[in-house]
Amino acid sequence: MSAEAIKKLIEDGKAILGIEFGSTRIKAVLIDEEHNPIASGSHEWENRLENNIWTYHEEDVWEGLHDCYADLQKDVESRYGAQITTLKAIGFSAMMHGYMPFDKAGKLLVPFRTWRNTMTEAAANELTRDFEYNIPQRWSIAHLYQAILNGEEHVKDIDFLTTLEGYVHWKLTGERVIGIGEASGMFPIDIEKMEYHSRMVQIFDEKIADKGYPWRLLDIMPKILLAGDKAGTLTEEGAKLIDASGKLQAGIPLCPPEGDAGTGMTATNSVTRRTGNVSAGTSVFAMVVLEKELSKVYPEIDLVTTPNGNLVGMVHCNNCTSDLNAWVNLFKEFAQSFGMKVDMNELFGTLYNKALEGDADCGGLLAYNYFSGESITGFEEGRPLFARTPDASFTLANFMRVHLFTALGALKIGLDILCKQEKVTIDKMLGHGGLFKTKGVGQKIMAAAIDAPVTVMETAGEGGAWGIALLAAYMMQKDEGETLDAYLADKVFKGETGTSMDPDAKDVEGFNRFIERYQAGLSIERAAVADLK
């Protein structure tokens, strides 16, 4: 499509916008009616550790949204000389899970508790036992029940409980709704009925009946919607919250807000059974769409859903590239000390490719990337750690390789449960996120970790903002009775196969030797957490 045609599309209000609140960046992607990205904007932000709780302030959310949208508008003006005044549809996504309770006046009762917090172990364990269903620490219901166990005063005043994208959507539309994929990270879902699991809701209400709260669970939870459902329209107040300039008009339809897991599945065309995807950035998670329920409860495996309600086995790890990035920045500082000008893309590419020259098992080196706790291996706190024996092969190649390996260490432990114990079949695993930016490196390491082919699509780099834009497009453009699976396969990804990489047998063997060392050395990490204050 020509620049002039795109300008007309934008000015006619036919473009579709997706915005995702990631852990370090808010990103906006504008797409045309054929799903092609035509403009983008972003805003960098960081979570804060306050009173030992990982959080973002409410003003961070709205200032970040303003800045991200303004950056998008700037891109639209520079490329096409156009102004966005209305849109065909909008979708919002964010990091899954967490805890945002509001009172009747719409006031946030406690600072936003993000997915990154590992402070709900007692609640998660008790609910897992009572529900006979794995309840991870970061799920909203675990945070709610932990607040109850703690005797927190605010609980009695809760009128609405939601997650970050549910909050943004509510403020923009007035609708207290959530997409089923995000809902499945708040509370277990009955996938036959596509609603919160009634037996578990009843168990929870009975557990807290003696507290005398003026609400029951379903009174405060957002309504569940499926991909393709209408989820409200942008209000006058909502338009101002997005666009500080006041040019954006009210009345634009919004799709159900979804979590980054659901948008990642959508952006990689992995919403059908026996497909999976890995999102590797600040955190890392892998999702495999299952053919049936698992044989038993595994604390390492979350059961969530796709945006259209298919059951997904999810392995979620709090830590991935943060420590790796810190080491790369150290090399940047080293180079700058010698007066060198450093291009970060070139630096990352050089160091990542160096890892491919290392020994298959990283030459005996060991590292842990735990900036925060890691529930898969039983840590409530983390300490980034590098260790080696005197006779280990301490080379730059092995050093970079071990930090790439450890970025996927906890993930491999969880995926081994799915693939080796539950015999789950994965026909196709798709990779996306920052780890895969350097062509061929993250892909090769991931293939070694899971001993399965890994595919990276050109569009995967667009990430979750593109994924939620696709969900908004599906809501507006689907044919009657057309499923999300069919829409993605036939209208979005038709003809796109991506670049696939098979696992190398030596790499697989090397990763297995590394993971043995990784698991044996967890006591070193525990000592660091205990003694390094």
pLDDT tens digits, one per residue of 76-86: 999 999 999 99
Is pLDDT of 460 > 60?
no
CATH topology of domain 270-456+503-533: Nucleotidyltransferase; domain 5 (3.30.420)
Is pLDDT of 475 > 80?
yes
Share of the chain above pLDDT 70, in %: 99
Query: How many H helices and E strands in the chain?
Result: 19, 22
Structure tokens at 254: 């919004």
Per-residue pLDDT at 386: 98
DSSP for 47-104, written as a single string: -EEETTEEE--HHHHHHHHHHHHHHHHHHHHHHHS------SEEEEEE-S--BEEE-T
Residue range 318-344, pLDDT digits in tens: 899 999 999 999 999 999 999 999 999
- The answer to whether 185 touches 265, Cβ cutoff 8 Å, is no
Is pLDDT of 459 > 80?
no
Question: What are the CB-based long-range contacts (under 8 Å, 24+) for 8-12?
Answer: 9/33, 9/38, 10/38, 10/76, 10/80, 10/82, 10/83, 10/84, 11/82, 11/83, 11/85
Tell me the β-bridge partners of 49.
54
Pick among 3.40.1260.10, 3.30.420.40, 1.10.3720.10, 3.50.50.100: CATH of 98-162+187-220: 3.30.420.40
How does residue 282 score in pLDDT terms, banded at 50, 70 and 90? confident
- The answer to whether 304 touches 185, Cβ cutoff 8 Å, is yes
Annotate 372-403 with b (16+ C-beta within 10 A) or e (fewer). Answer: bbbbbbebebbbbbeebeeebeebebbbbbbb
Is pLDDT of 496 > 80?
no
Structure tokens at 232: 């409200």
* Average pLDDT score over the chain: 94
Is pLDDT of 50 > 70?
yes
Structure tokens at 207: 């557990």
Residue range 245-275, pLDDT digits in tens: 999 999 999 999 999 989 989 988 889 988 9
Residue written as token pair 């003003």: 59
Angle at 117 between CA 302 and CA 222, to 5 degrees: 60
Per-residue pLDDT at 462: 61
Strand 302-305 with 311-317, pairing = antiparallel
Range 18-36 average pLDDT: 95
How does residue 308 score in pLDDT terms, banded at 50, 70 and 90? very high
Per-residue pLDDT at 91: 98
**Other CB atoms closer than 10 Å to residue 129's CB: what's the count?**
11
Is pLDDT of 313 > 90?
yes
Question: Lowest mean pLDDT: which of 283-287, 302-306, 398-402?
Answer: 283-287
Is pLDDT of 442 > 60?
yes
Residue range 120-157, pLDDT digits in tens: 999 999 999 999 999 999 999 999 999 999 999 999 99
Is pLDDT of 310 > 60?
yes
What span, in angstroms and rounded, lies between the C-alpha atoms of 494 and 483? Answer: 15
What span, in angstroms and rounded, lies between the C-alpha atoms of 102 and 165? Answer: 14
Range 513-520 average pLDDT: 97
Range 402-430 average pLDDT: 92
How does residue 461 score in pLDDT terms, banded at 50, 70 and 90? low
Range 428-457 average pLDDT: 89
Per-residue pLDDT at 457: 79
Is pLDDT of 409 > 80?
yes
Per-residue pLDDT at 47: 93
What span, in angstroms and rounded, lies between the C-alpha atoms of 166 and 181? Answer: 12
Strands (E), 306-449: 311-317, 366-368, 385-387, 428-432
Decide if domain 1-96+229-267+464-499 falls under CATH 3.30.450.40: no
Please list the residue range(s) of the chain that carry CATH number 3.30.420.40. Answer: 1-96+229-267+464-499, 98-162+187-220, 270-456+503-533
What span, in angstroms and rounded, lies between the C-alpha atoms of 376 and 413? Answer: 8
How does residue 380 score in pLDDT terms, banded at 50, 70 and 90? confident
Structure tokens at 418: 């799915």
Residue range 96-117, pLDDT digits in tens: 999 999 999 999 999 999 988 8
- Continuous segment of H or E residues that includes residue 30: strand 25-31
201: CB partners within 8 A, 6+ apart? 187, 217, 218
Residue range 166-193, pLDDT digits in tens: 999 999 999 999 999 999 999 999 999 9
Q: Put the strands of the sheet holding 37-44 in their side by side order.
A: 37-44, 25-31, 16-21, 89-94, 258-259
Structure tokens at 502: 């098979």
